[in-house]
Structure formats: C-alpha cells, structure tokens
C-alpha cells in the first residue's frame, strides 16, 4: 500500500481557550502542528501530507510549519468531517493518489513511530479493512439518568477509547465521507463511517501518550511528554 496523510487542523480549539488556536501554540519551542507533521515526515520521507486549516489561519499556519514539496494545505469546513473530506479529495486528485489515507488529528502530536508502523502493518495485511488505534477502558463505567442516579454498570470488557491515526482505503473512505456529507450525518471519528455502511474496522493497541490536546490542562501534560522525549 501507499499512504497519504490528512491532518485536520481547522477546528477552533474552543475547549483549549488561550487566544491562539491550539494547533499553533508552542510546546517547548515548537508548534503542535509542526510536531504532528514531523511525526509523519520522519516516518515516511516522501508521502503526501495534507494539512486542513481554517481560512483565517493561513498566515499562522505558514509561520508554524517546516514546509517541503510534499506538504500541501487546504481550507477546512465547519465540522471535523467536512475538513477531513477536503483532505481526502485533495489526496484523490494528486497525479499519483495513494492507495490508503491516514487521518490524524493535528491535536495529537505524541503518537509514536511504532504506532504508525502498527497501523501500517495492519493495512498491509488486510488492505480493505479499516484500522484504528484504541485503548481499552480501565475505569468502571456507570450509566446515569438525568438526575445523576446510576441506572446501570456498563460492562467495560469490550469497550475502547478511539485514537488516531485511522487508516482506510482512500477511495472507500472518500466515498463514505461524500455520502455522509450529503446525508448530513454527524460523527466524531472516521471509523464511524465504515461502521455505518457495514465495512470492517480493526482495533490495534493505542498508546496512553497519544493524547488529544483538548483542554488547557492537556498542555501541561504535553510539556511533560516533550521533556520525556528529549530529556
Ligand atoms: N477539526 C477540523 N475542522 C473542524 C473541527 C475540528 O479540522 N471543523 C480538527 C481540529 O483542528 C483537531 C481535530 O479536528 O485537530 C480534533 O478536533 P477537536 O479536538 O475537537 O478540536 P477543535 O474542534 O479545534 O476543538 P474544540 O472542539 O474544543 O473547539
Ligand atoms: Mg471540536
């Protein structure tokens, strides 16, 4: 398989606050988006990488990344799904479109090279099966009613927390996103679209360090993770 990377970075980062959208904030000197781009560029020196950004952030993005001639940018949409769709369209319109797309949140700069290899190995074994990294749930899960009273303890054995990168055959995930866009379906990850149309998706072990920077406090954890990476 050949791989192209879609990095959605067009969100507003509302929950992280702090004035500057989270992808452009610096952790120990380097921006979140550049850390995420470098993660894929070190993994594969030549694969196309499409960064999806907000129309207001064009200058900010240029000031935040180390460019090469296989790094492309495109403008995203109002929902994450619309942004991903733009990236998938971009990959499919390249002169040599990759067979597979890796879709990875800009806000997850700490995925390891090992994780990318694990996802790729799964794609290589079974190219038509989607792949996502996920972590099994450790806490006991309680379902509550609107008064906060417990209705049920939910068995956690088969439950997982989904991460990215999520990888799929490009033409299949692209048409799934196109269909979802026309039907107005709402979804928070890309695997949901495969599930929706009955296509198989495999879970591979995720990583506890592969956090999504969501809240301001996550940046404290991010500084800690960077110091572990570069002691
Ligand atoms: N994203 C995107 N386009 C959108 C919404 C989200 O490209 N319209 C991207 C974000 O930039 C982020 C990733 O999808 O890298 C995961 O989304 P999330 O963590 O929710 O980021 P934001 O939507 O930016 O944050 P918030 O929901 O707090 O506003
Ligand atoms: Mg969001």
In the CATH hierarchy, which fold is given to the domain comprising 3-134+161-229? Spore Coat Polysaccharide Biosynthesis Protein SpsA; Chain A (3.90.550)
164-192 in b/e burial notation, b at 16+ Cβ within 10 A? bbbbbbbebbbebbeebeeeeeebebbbb
The confidence score (pLDDT) of residue 18 equals 81
- Cα 87 from chain centre: 12
Q: How far apart are CA 65 and CA 163, in angstroms?
A: 23
Can you tell me the mean pLDDT for 104-121? 98
Which among 68, 72, 96 is positioned nearest to 86, based on CA atoms? 72
Q: Three-state DSSP class for 78? A: coil
17 CA to centre of ligand 1 in angstroms: 12
- Taking CA atoms only, the protein residue closest to ligand 1 atom 23 is 11
- pLDDT for 149 equals 98
Residue 176 banded pLDDT, cuts 50, 70, 90:
very high
The ligand 1 atom nearest the CA atom of 79: 8
What number does the ligand 1 atom closest to the CA of 8 have?
Answer: 7
Q: Among all chains, which residue has been given the structure tokens 């090279």?
A: 113
Whose alpha carbon is nearest atom 25 of ligand 1?
13
Where do the structural domains in the chain lie, given as residue ranges? Answer: 3-134+161-229
Sign (positive/negative) of CA torsion 123, 34, 49, 168?
positive
Within 10 angstroms of residue 100's Cβ, the number of other Cβ atoms is 24
Instruction: Indicate the helix (H) or strand (E) that contains 39.
Output: helix 32-43
What is residue 186's predicted lDDT score, i.e. its pLDDT? 82
Q: Which residues contact 78 (CB under 8 A, 6 or more apart)?
A: none
Q: Dihedrals φ, ψ of 62, to 5°?
A: -60, -35
Rg, C-alpha atoms of the chain = 18
Mean pLDDT of the chain: 96
Supply the pLDDT for residue 179: 94
DSSP state of 64: T
In the reported structure, the alpha carbon of residue 145 is separated from the centroid of ligand 1 by a whole-number distance in angstroms of 29
Please write the tens of the pLDDT for every residue from 47-81: 999 999 999 999 999 999 999 999 999 999 999 99
Q: Kindly report the number of other CB atoms within 10 A of residue 38's CB atom.
A: 14
In this prediction, residues 142-163 reach a mean pLDDT of 95
Q: What is the mean pLDDT of residues 161-174?
A: 98
Q: Look at residue 230 and tell me whether its pLDDT is greater than 80.
A: no
User: Is the pLDDT score of 150 beyond 80?
Assistant: yes
**What's the whole-number mean pLDDT along residues 146-170?**
96
CA 213 to ligand 1 centroid distance, Å: 10
* Residue-wise pLDDT tens digits, 120-132: 999 999 999 999 9
Query: What ipTM was predicted for this assembly?
Result: 0.99
Question: What is the CA(204)–ligand 2 centre distance, in A?
Answer: 24
Q: How far is the CA of 64 from the centre of ligand 1 (A)?
A: 17
Model confidence at 35: pLDDT above 80 = yes
Which residue has its alpha carbon closest to ligand 1 atom 13? 105
In the three-class reduction of DSSP (H, G, I as helix; E, B as strand; rest coil), residue 69 is classed as coil
Q: Which residues line ligand 1 (CB under 6 A)?
A: 8-16, 23, 52, 76-80, 83, 105-107, 212, 214
Q: Output the CA angle 25-31-33, nearest 5 degrees.
A: 100
Residue 36: what pLDDT? 98
Q: Which atom of ligand 1 is nearest to the CA of 53?
A: 7
- Which ligand 1 atom is at minimum distance from the Cα of 21? 24
Atom of ligand 1 nearest to the CA of 15: 28
- What is the C-alpha separation between 91 and 100, in angstroms, rounded? 9
Per-residue pLDDT at 184: 83
């Amino acid at each position: 398989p050949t791989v192209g990377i879609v990095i959605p970075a067009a969100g507003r980062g509302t929950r992280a606050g702090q004035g500057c959208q989270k992808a452009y904030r610096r952790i120990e000197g380097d921006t979140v988006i550049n850390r995420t781009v470098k993660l894929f560029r070190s993994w594969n020196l030549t694969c196309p990488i499409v960064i999806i950004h907000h129309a207001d952030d064009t200058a900010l993005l240029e000031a935040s990344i180390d460019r090469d001639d296989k790094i492309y940018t495109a403008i995203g949409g109002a929902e994450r799904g619309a942004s991903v769709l733009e990236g998938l369209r971009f990959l499919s319109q390249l002169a040599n479109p990759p067979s597979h797309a890796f879709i990875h949140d800009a806000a997850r700069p700490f995925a390891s090279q090992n994780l990318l290899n694990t996802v790729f190995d799964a794609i290589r074994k079974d190219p038509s099966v989607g792949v996502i990294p996920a972590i099994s749930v450790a806490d006991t899960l309680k379902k509550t009613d609107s008064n906060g009273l417990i209705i049920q303890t939910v068995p956690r054995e088969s439950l997982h927390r989904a991460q990215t990168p999520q990888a799929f055959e490009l033409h299949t995930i692209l048409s799934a996103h196109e269909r979802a866009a026309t039907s107005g379906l709402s979804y928070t990850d890309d695997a949901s679209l495969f599930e929706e149309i009955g296509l198989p998706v495999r879970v591979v072990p995720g990583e506890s360090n592969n956090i999504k920077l969501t809240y301001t406090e996550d940046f404290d954890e991010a500084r800690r993770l960077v110091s572990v990476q570069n002691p």
